[in-house]
Structure 1
Amino acid sequence: MLKPVDKEKAKQAVSQYFEKKKKTEQEGQQSAPVDGDPASGPATTEP
């Protein structure tokens, strides 16, 4: 089973990703093609 901490981290990563995506779409999709690479996020450091 996952620890509650991991669940929180995952939740944060997801909300962070969507926030970034929303921002990118508002600024203009042609300026930064962010296809949601989870490796670029800070919450993907777990094995």
Structure 2
Amino acid sequence: RAERTVAAINVSTQSARFSVAEMEREILPVLLEARQRIEDFFVV
């Protein structure tokens, strides 16, 4: 399998709502889990 990017996931929020550390702690794990679930579903 070629290791290449074929899609992207993003999230947006107001900068006053989350610090970078809070985003890394609260949002990043959710995005990484979603990425893994998508990869598991589509990769054969």
Q: State the TM-score bracket (shorter-chain normalisation).
A: 0.3 to 0.5
Structure number with larger C-alpha Rg = 2
Larger helix percent: 1
TM-score (norm 1): 0.42
TM-score scaled by length of structure 2:
0.44
